[in-house]
């Protein structure tokens, strides 16, 4: 992709997220401010489990790989 296409994609995505923020927060004056902060939850399932449990948790990919390894044995 060319740089112009990447820039165009970022701008289109930004407009889409701003419109979504305005739908989610219709009562806020600066709803577009929340376009980059639309995650309602920061739990381990919605966020990064390694951040929550300080590296002790497995990612979904690691969990699936471990299951595949145990199934093969």
Predicted pLDDT at 11: 94
Do residues 35 and 17 make contact, with C-beta atoms less than 8 angstroms apart? Answer: yes
Q: Which residues of 17-42 are buried (b: 16+ CB within 10 A; e: fewer)?
A: bbeebeeebeeeeebbebbeeeeeee
For the record, the structure tokens of 52 come out as 């929550």
Asked if 34 and 45 sit in the same domain, the reply is: no
Band (59; pLDDT cuts 50, 70, 90): confident
Query: Which domain does 19 fall in, by range?
Result: 1-38
Asked if 4 and 21 sit in the same domain, the reply is: yes
Beta strands per DSSP E along 1-73: none
Q: How many domains does the chain have?
A: 2
Q: pTM score, two decimals?
A: 0.52
């Amino acid at each position: 992709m060319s740089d112009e296409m990447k820039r165009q994609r970022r701008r289109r995505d930004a407009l889409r997220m701003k419109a979504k923020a305005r739908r989610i927060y219709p009562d806020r004056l600066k709803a577009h401010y929340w376009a980059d902060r639309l995650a309602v939850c920061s739990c381990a399932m919605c966020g990064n489990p390694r951040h929550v449990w300080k590296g002790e948790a497995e990612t979904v990919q690691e969990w699936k790989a471990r299951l595949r390894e145990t199934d093969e044995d």
